[in-house]
Structure formats: structure tokens, C-alpha cells
């Protein structure tokens, strides 16, 4: 990367790379399309910036050198896709032909994949240039970003904080300005944690709105919790442009399991007032003062803009977390998850989970019973990791379906369009996500329900939030609650986001709501 950038700068010393990096994706795309900005200038501006951010945060795993060749093949006058000439970054677990998809496992080194994932194929057909792959936590089942091959990725805004995970390399690279558009996956918040922690936007679509063919999963075959692939960018308009480009005939032809639903422009561009449900807490993970304030301030801005805000009462989140999320992901007792680690250095950063997955059912049952009076949450987590019979798994799937129908019925009863929810934040200290698996409750609920959900940064943590945090006890006052209070601390100035949720297959409405939140927050900040 260094060599390529130096060669370009020698040949084009007068090109203003900083002005290129300051453009939003829609602005950049327009200039490339109308010929006023050569794709070559854009490409090397981002290669240079990506290299700088990689040195600062350790976010890149591989430079795709063939991107330089692809760049040379972008001919003037040819039919241009919507992402023509746009350099894009790709999460390690999304297959790119000729490159490893390592997932932080040593055994996957030097095993280049034979074919691009459908996502990457469509991106290329739309003119985008995938140029780097980015770091992930070992196995993907984590919201930190650390593995034994590449080490720890840091948050570009504050190096002592995690960038989130598992799409943490993407969050760090885009948050630092080294990529204008990136792609990750989300099984429990893996797009949303990095976006929220690094101060950018992300969209987790409904599980099958975008193709997952050629995208490697952390737990093969698991169907209880729905994973999704989605975009990350600095602003909502960039995400919308990306979805317009991806929801095309190529996507539907290359993967016929994806419903042929083109981007609904009418829904996205509507200005009708919205009826918005909201809640400040899920009564399982106590929100930090900054999280609660983020929802309240956003609610007020939306009401002042003429939207209707309706309180939504969440129930049984603890049951969902233990039984649907943890119980669903590890319904085989953790056997599939463990297989990933065969022949690996078993350290990882998954500690207790790893040990429990190796234990037989009777030990899990015994431990669950022993810990129940002292640490009820740990007791429930241990119980949720028991191996299920086929009958039990089918029963679980039925329960998950029923729970989804009940949630939608409550939504419809209130006649809601969308929902405003808290998002975990500010960014936790490095190393803490591994100790705080229970804090995925705010995000993983929407993987279990399979609803589209986006993240928009709305505020920064303040000194006042920090003072209030001293009184943080959590709902259970257990070790996890105490650890979370520590993990949140000393984060003044770090971004805090909200989640914007819509019903299944309504990504355009979700983006429309995100755009509204983003616009109102930007307007408020300009006045301040």
C-alpha cells in the first residue's frame, strides 16, 4: 500500500487528496460519474488514508493488490454502476476470490477462497473496487476485535477503547476515515457495536434482504438467531445509496434465495410524520447515563419535528437472551462452536464460554443449580448452554416464532411505523466485551426477531454522564453489572448512538427514520 501511494504521489504531486477524503459518498460518486474526479485519484487517496489508520489502529488484514488492476479497467464511457470507482472495504469473513477468510484462526492462513461472495460480485458489477479486508475477533463470536494472528484492533477515537466487533476492523477503518463504505455481518450486534463505538452509521437488514452466499458464519448451520450482512458508512445517505446499488437484478440472479425487492424510493424519500415507539431500557442491561440521555434527547427532537412518540413496554428480555439468543446459538451444547478451535491455540478471549462448551450436560446442570442463589444470571447462562435434543430444538424454534408474532402484535396494536431504542455505549474499554457477553441484550433481540435495525450516532458522552455513572449499580448488582460500570467509565467525548428499528423487509423505512434522526441531530449541533 505504501509503495503504491508513494508512486502515485510522485506522478501526481498536485492532487489534493485531503479534499477528496472530505467528500461524502453521494458527492464523491457524483463527481466520479460526471468525470470531474478521476477514480484513480479517489482510489489512492483512500489507500493512503487506510494505511495511516491501519498503522494507528491495526484494522486491516490484507491489501487486495488486484484492486489496482481493477482500477485500470474502469474505462471512460462504459456503462457505470451506482458505485463506479468507489473503493470499498470488506470484513475478513466475507469471501473475496484469491484471499483468505481467516476468522482469526491459524488453520485458515494461506487458504485463499476460489470465488467472490455474491455481495462482492454485485459490488464489482456496480463498479465498486474492494481494496482491503479488515480484522475480526477469533471465531466472530465476540464484540471486541482481537485474534492470535493480527492482534488487537483499537478504536480510532481513543486507543484504550474497543472498536466493537465482530466487524471491528470495518468500524475502526471507516470511523478513522480510511474507507468511505464498508461491509460487515451481524449475528448479535456485529455491525451495530462497531458503528456505535466508532461514531458511524450501519444498517443490519432483515436476514435475507442481501445475499449471505459466500459469507462465512461463526457457527455453521445455526438457524435460531438470524445473521445478516450489511453496509457501514459515515452517514445514512451513503447507506441508502449502497442499498440502491445492491438491490439489483444481479443480486437476485446470483442468489435466487434473496427476494427480488428493489429499493423502494417512495418509502425512503417520504416526509410523512412517523409514529415511533420508544423505550429507554430493556430491564436486563441497565443503560449507562449517556445511553438513556441519547434516547431522551432524540425523542424530544423527533417530537419537536412533529412526529408522535409512543412508549413501548419490553417484556421478558431476560428470557429471550437466555433461551432464544444464547440457547439458540449454542443449542448443540457448543459442539459446532468448539470445532472451529480444533488444532488452534485455544486461548482466544472466550474464557468461560469455551470451558462450558467443553463440559457435559450434567456438569452444566449442576453448575447452574449451584450458582442460582448467588449469581442468577450466570446460572441462566450456564443452563442455556446445555445440548438440546431435536425435539427441544424444534420446540425452541416454535417459541421463537410465537415470540416474534407477539412482538409484532404489540407493535401493530400501538400502530407504530418504527421504533427508537438504546444502543450500548459509549465504547467499552479493550478486553471488557469478552467479560460482558450479557450486554448484547439491546442488539441481539433484533437478530432473534429478524427485524432491520440501523445505528445513528446522536451525542457524545459528557462529564455529567461520568458523574452519574458513579451511581451505576445495574439491575442485578452482580459481577457483570460492576464490570460494565468500569467498562463504560472515562469515556468523555466518545460517541453514543441509538438504534432505529423497522418491521421485517422494511429497510427503506428504517433508513428513512435513521435519516430523520441524523438530520435533526445535525441541525441541533449546528445551532449549538
Q: Contact, 238 vs 30, CB < 8 A?
A: no
Catalytic, 212? Answer: no
**Cell numbers at residue 151, please?**
492482534
State how far the Cα of 313 lies from the Cα of 282, in Å rounded to an integer: 9
**Cell numbers at residue 340, please?**
472451529
- Comparing C-alpha atoms, which of 245, 259, 266, 248 is closest to residue 209? 259
What's the start-to-end Cα distance of the chain, in Å? 40
Q: Which of 190, 224, 320, 403 is catalytic?
A: 190
- Comparing C-alpha atoms, which of 325, 143, 320, 128 is closest to residue 233? 128
Q: Which of 29, 89, 166, 288 is catalytic?
A: 166
Catalytic, 91? Answer: yes
**Cell numbers at residue 300, please?**
424530544
Catalytic, 166? Answer: yes
**Distance between alpha carbon 20 and the CA centroid of its chain, in Å?**
26
- Comparing C-alpha atoms, which of 194, 198, 204 is closest to residue 177? 198
Dihedral sign for Cα atoms in the order 104, 213, 243, 125: positive
Q: Which of 49, 80, 91, 435 is catalytic?
A: 91
Dihedral sign for Cα atoms in the order 276, 277, 280, 284: negative
State how far the Cα of 49 lies from the Cα of 54, in Å rounded to an integer: 9
Q: State the burial class of residue 21 (Cβ atoms within 10 Å of its Cβ: 0-12, 13-18, 19+).
A: middle
Supply the residues annotated as catalytic.
91, 166, 190
Amino acid at each position: 500500500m505504501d509503495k503504491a501511494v508513494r508512486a502515485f504521489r510522485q506522478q501526481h504531486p498536485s492532487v489534493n487528496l485531503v479534499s477528496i477524503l472530505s467528500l461524502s459518498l453521494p458527492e464523491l460518486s457524483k463527481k466520479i460519474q460526471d468525470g470531474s474526479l478521476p477514480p484513480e485519484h479517489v482510489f489512492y487517496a483512500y489507500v493512503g488514508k487506510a494505511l495511516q489508520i491501519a498503522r494507528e489502529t491495526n484494522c486491516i488484514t490484507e491489501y487486495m493488490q488486484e484492486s489496482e488492476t481493477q482500477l485500470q479497467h474502469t474505462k471512460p464511457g462504459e456503462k457505470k454502476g451506482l458505485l463506479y470507482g468507489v473503493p470499498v472495504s470488506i470484513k475478513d469473513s466475507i469471501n473475496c476470490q484469491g484471499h483468505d477468510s481467516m476468522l482469526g484462526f491459524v488453520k485458515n492462513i494461506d487458504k485463499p477462497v476460489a470465488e467472490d461472495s455474491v455481495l462482492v460480485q454485485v459490488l464489482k458489477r456496480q463498479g465498486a473496487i474492494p481494496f482491503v479486508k479488515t480484522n475480526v475477533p477469533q471465531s466472530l463470536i465476540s464484540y471486541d476485535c482481537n485474534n492470535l494472528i493480527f492482534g488487537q484492533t483499537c478504536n480510532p477515537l481513543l486507543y484504550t477503547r474497543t472498536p466493537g466487533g465482530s466487524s471491528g476492523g470495518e468500524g475502526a477503518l471507516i470511523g478513522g476515515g480510511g474507507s468511505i463504505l464498508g461491509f460487515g455481518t451481524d449475528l448479535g450486534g456485529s455491525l451495530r457495536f462497531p458503528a456505535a463505538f466508532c461514531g458511524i452509521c450501519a444498517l443490519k437488514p432483515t436476514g435475507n434482504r442481501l445475499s449471505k452466499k459466500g459469507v462465512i458464519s461463526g457457527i455453521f448451520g445455526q438457524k435460531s438467531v438470524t445473521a445478516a450482512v450489511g453496509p457501514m458508512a459515515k452517514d445514512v445517505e451513503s447507506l441508502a445509496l449502497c442499498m440502491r446499488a445492491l438491490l439489483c437484478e444481479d443480486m437476485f440472479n446470483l442468489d435466487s434465495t434473496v427476494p427480488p425487492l428493489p429499493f423502494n424510493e417512495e418509502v425512503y424519500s417520504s416526509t410523512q410524520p412517523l409514529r415511533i415507539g420508544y423505550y429507554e431500557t430493556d430491564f436486563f442491561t441497565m443503560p449507562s447515563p449517556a445511553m438513556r440521555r441519547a434516547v431522551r434527547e432524540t425523542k424530544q427532537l423527533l417530537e419537536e419535528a412533529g412526529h408522535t412518540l409512543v412508549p413501548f413496554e419490553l417484556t421478558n428480555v431476560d428470557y429471550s437472551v437466555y433461551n432464544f439468543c444464547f440457547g439458540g446459538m449454542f443449542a448443540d451444547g457448543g459442539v459446532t462452536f468448539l470445532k472451529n478451535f480444533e488444532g488452534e491455540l485455544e486461548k482466544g478471549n472466550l474464557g468461560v464460554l469455551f470451558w462450558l462448551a467443553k463440559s457435559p450436560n450434567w456438569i452444566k446442570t449442576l453448575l447452574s443449580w449451584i450458582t442460582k442463589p448467588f449469581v442468577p444470571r450466570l446460572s441462566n447462562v450456564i443452563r442455556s448452554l446445555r445440548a438440546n435434543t431435536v425435539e427441544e430444538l424444534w420446540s425452541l424454534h416454535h417459541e421463537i416464532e410465537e415470540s416474534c408474532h407477539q412482538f409484532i402484535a404489540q407493535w401493530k396494536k400501538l400502530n407504530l411505523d418504527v421504533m427508537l431504542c438504546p444502543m450500548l455505549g459509549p465504547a467499552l474499554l479493550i478486553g471488557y466485551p469478552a467479560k460482558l457477553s450479557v450486554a448484547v441484550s439491546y442488539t441481539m433481540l433484533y437478530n432473534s426477531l429478524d427485524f432491520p435495525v440501523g445505528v445513528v450516532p446522536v451525542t457524545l458522552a459528557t462529564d455529567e454522564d461520568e458523574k452519574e455513572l458513579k451511581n451505576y449499580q445495574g439491575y442485578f448488582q452482580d459481577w457483570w453489572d460492576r464490570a460494565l460500570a468500569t467498562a463504560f467509565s472515562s469515556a468523555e467525548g466518545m460517541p453514543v448512538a441509538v438504534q432505529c428499528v423497522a418491521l421485517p423487509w422494511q429497510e427503506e423505512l428504517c433508513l428513512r427514520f435513521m435519516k430523520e434522526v441524523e438530520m435533526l441531530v445535525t441541525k441541533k449541533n449546528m445551532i449549538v
